[in-house]
């Protein structure tokens, strides 16, 4: 049996009055992948936020239930998140915007330029982030993720806006991260190559 | 932490990269300039009431940067990414509060010199005024940060933030501006005490506000 990267038990999610999903257990081994599917608004992004520790799992306070389950999420290793935002300062040139996160993550200058070359952004170093297209922003977000050098990745619609080359590149990056022992959780409506991934359909986990 | 503070300062300082501007300062000076036109040029009247006007102008100038303080970074997920890296919201908010104070207060103190000249404040009152502003502005920065975090996710949050800041700032205003009426340093000490109470609470309140936006 392989070492586990993510162990999450008894996750419940409620947004306002809507009960999205419940009693969800996820176990991912090192190098494993999870593909979250389900219709819009089912709670895929919320689940990623719960897994990232940014949102608590809702307490399962069903009326009359004796045991309220609080849910737990445990990761072995550091975690990177790429959601709908590339989270880079809009007015700064791309290189400087990435440099802020490189300093926060203690990455070397060379790591940053390597990541930018890898994502095909080397011609855009001086372009302010606000002028980037949707696909270029996604690439910039991946550059930030590469610079962070986290063990595991949470990706929310990672293929949005990417061209065919970009899709292939992202699939390659995911494969590399998994080969290095990282676990990947992807929420994606677009088909994405994730060999041997567990598919989790949140419709199968009603509250 | 230093990297964070540097970025926060770069956002907020006048001439900074994200539209941080001299506007609050010019606004402050404009009020000091307009006041004598509005009430008439009698030196005694100006000397007696001018300090209070400078305080009100300072308070209003502290409101202007609020909309840039938290909302943009909350929207773009900066605080999420920081939280993922183990930087607590409290730390991020402390850094933001310090940067906010550094970006408006020192310049305000400098601008208080020409402003008090315009209003003909005598020298001893000027000293009291500067000490009072020094004691009171950290509190204004703290209240401003808390309210900016609370209203960051609301539509029209900036206007609301201004309205919410005013009642909370009243204690600082009473003791800060009150120190000008009576030559009594204890009022400044009171203003400083209230101010530091707010400074102590603000990072936690603002951090809780940011987390509650995520839970919503």
Which residues does residue A28 pair with via DSSP β-bridges, in sequence order?
A: A6
- CA-wise closest residue to B76 among A19, A25, A120, A92: A92
What pLDDT does residue B157 have?
78
Residues 51-70 of A with CB under 8 A from B: 52-56
* Smallest Cα distance from B214 to chain A, Å: 6
User: Would you say residue B1 has pLDDT above 80?
Assistant: no
* Smallest Cα distance from B152 to chain A, Å: 17
What ipTM does the predicted assembly reach? 0.89
What pLDDT does residue B37 have?
92
- CA-wise closest residue to A157 among A177, A179, A175, A142: A142
For residue range A130-153, what is the model confidence (pLDDT) as tens digits? 999 999 999 999 999 999 999 999
What pLDDT does residue A18 have?
85
Cβ neighbours of B91 in A, within 8 Å: none
Region B21-28: what's the mean pLDDT? 83
What pLDDT does residue B13 have?
78
* Smallest Cα distance from A177 to chain B, Å: 18
Tally the C-alpha atoms within 13 A of residue A194's C-alpha that lie toward its C-beta.
Answer: 25
For residue range B69-82, what is the model confidence (pLDDT) as tens digits? 898 899 899 999 99
Distance from C-alpha of B45 to C-alpha of A88, rounded to nearest angstrom: 52
Mean pLDDT of chain A: 89
Nearest to A81 among B84, B87, B215 (CB): B84
Interchain proximity A52–B84, CB inside 8 Å? yes
A100 and chain B in contact, CB less than 8 A:
yes
* Smallest Cα distance from A150 to chain B, Å: 10
Cα Rg of chain A (Å, integer): 18
DSSP for B95-164, please give it.
HHHHHHHHHHHHHHHHHHHHHHHHTT--HHHHHHHHHHHHHHHHHHHHHHHHHHHHHTTSTTHHHHHHHH
User: Would you say residue B206 has pLDDT above 60?
Assistant: yes
A12 and chain B in contact, CB less than 8 A:
no
Which residue of chain B has the CA closest to A86?
B76
* Structural domain that includes position B13: 2-215
Q: Taking a C-beta distance cutoff of 8 angstroms, is the pair A153, A174 a contact?
A: yes
Q: Taking a C-beta distance cutoff of 8 angstroms, is the pair A81, A154 a contact?
A: yes
User: Would you say residue B19 has pLDDT above 60?
Assistant: no
Interchain proximity B83–A54, CB inside 8 Å? yes
* Smallest Cα distance from A91 to chain B, Å: 7
What pLDDT does residue A60 have?
72
User: Would you say residue A57 has pLDDT above 90?
Assistant: no
Interchain proximity B77–A55, CB inside 8 Å? no
Cβ neighbours of B88 in A, within 8 Å: none
Tally the C-alpha atoms within 13 A of residue A189's C-alpha that lie toward its C-beta.
Answer: 9
| A2, A188, B73 from A183: Cα distances, Å | 12, 16, 28
Interchain proximity A56–B215, CB inside 8 Å? yes
Tally the C-alpha atoms within 13 A of residue B168's C-alpha that lie toward its C-beta.
Answer: 22
Token pair belonging to A17: 């009055």
Cβ neighbours of B18 in A, within 8 Å: 89-91
A85 and chain B in contact, CB less than 8 A:
yes
* Smallest Cα distance from A103 to chain B, Å: 7
What pLDDT does residue A142 have?
95
**Neighbour order of strands in the sheet with A79-82:** A79-82, A152-156, A184-187, A33-37, A198-201
Q: How confident is the model at residue B15 (pLDDT cuts 50, 70, 90)?
A: low
Interchain proximity A89–B80, CB inside 8 Å? no
Interchain proximity B17–A92, CB inside 8 Å? yes
Determine what percent of chain B falls in helix, strand and coil, rounding each to the nearest 5.
85, 0, 15
Which of B8, B84, B91, B95 to mutate: most A Cβ within 10 Å?
B84
Which residue of chain B has the CA closest to A96?
B7
Q: Taking a C-beta distance cutoff of 8 angstroms, is the pair B96, B8 a contact?
A: yes
Per the structure, the count of domains in chain B is: 1
Q: How confident is the model at residue A51 (pLDDT cuts 50, 70, 90)?
A: very high
């Amino acid at each position: 049996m392989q070492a586990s990267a993510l162990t999450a038990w008894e996750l419940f999610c409620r947004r306002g009055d809507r009960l999205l999903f419940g009693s969800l257990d996820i176990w991912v081994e090192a190098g494993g992948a999870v593909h979250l599917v389900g219709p819009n608004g089912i709670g895929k992004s919320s689940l990623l936020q719960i897994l990232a520790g940014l949102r608590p799992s809702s307490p399962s306070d069903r009326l009359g239930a004796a045991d309220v389950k609080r849910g737990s999420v445990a990761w072995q290793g550091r975690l990177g998140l790429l959601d709908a935002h590339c989270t880079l300062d809009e007015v700064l040139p791309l290189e400087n915007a990435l440099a802020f996160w490189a300093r926060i993550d203690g990455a070397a200058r060379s790591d940053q330029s390597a990541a930018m070359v890898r994502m095909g952004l080397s011609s855009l170093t001086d372009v302010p982030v606000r002028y980037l297209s949707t696909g270029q922003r996604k690439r910039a977000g991946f550059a930030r993720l590469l610079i962070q050098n986290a063990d595991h990745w949470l990706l929310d619609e990672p293929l949005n806006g990417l061209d065919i080359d970009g899709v292939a590149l992202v699939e390659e990056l995911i494969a590399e991260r998994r080969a290095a022992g990282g676990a990947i959780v992807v929420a994606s409506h677009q088909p994405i190559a994730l060999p041997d991934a567990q598919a989790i359909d949140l419709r199968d986990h009603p509250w | 932490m230093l990297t964070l503070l540097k970025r926060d300062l770069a956002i907020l300082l006048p001439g900074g990269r994200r539209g941080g501007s001299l506007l609050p300062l010019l606004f402050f000076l404009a009020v000091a300039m307009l006041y004598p036109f509005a009430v008439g040029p009698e030196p005694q009247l100006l000397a007696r009431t001018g300090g209070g006007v400078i305080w009100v102008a300072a308070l209003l100038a502290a409101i202007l940067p609020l909309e840039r303080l938290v909302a943009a970074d909350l929207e773009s997920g900066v605080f999420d990414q920081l939280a993922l890296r183990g930087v607590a919201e409290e730390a991020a908010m402390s850094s933001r509060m310090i940067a906010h104070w550094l970006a408006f207060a020192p310049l305000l103190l400098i601008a208080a010199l020409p402003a008090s000249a315009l209003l003909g404040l005598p020298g001893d009152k000027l000293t009291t005024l500067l000490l009072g502003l020094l004691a009171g502005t950290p509190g204004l920065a703290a209240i401003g940060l808390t309210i900016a975090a609370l209203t960051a996710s609301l539509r029209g949050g900036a206007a609301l933030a201004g309205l919410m800041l005013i009642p909370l700032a009243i204690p600082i205003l009473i003791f800060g501006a009150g120190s000008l009426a009576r030559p009594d340093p204890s009022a400044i000490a009171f203003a400083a005490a209230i101010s530091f109470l707010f400074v102590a609470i603000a990072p936690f309140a603002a951090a809780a506000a940011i987390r509650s936006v995520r839970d919503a």
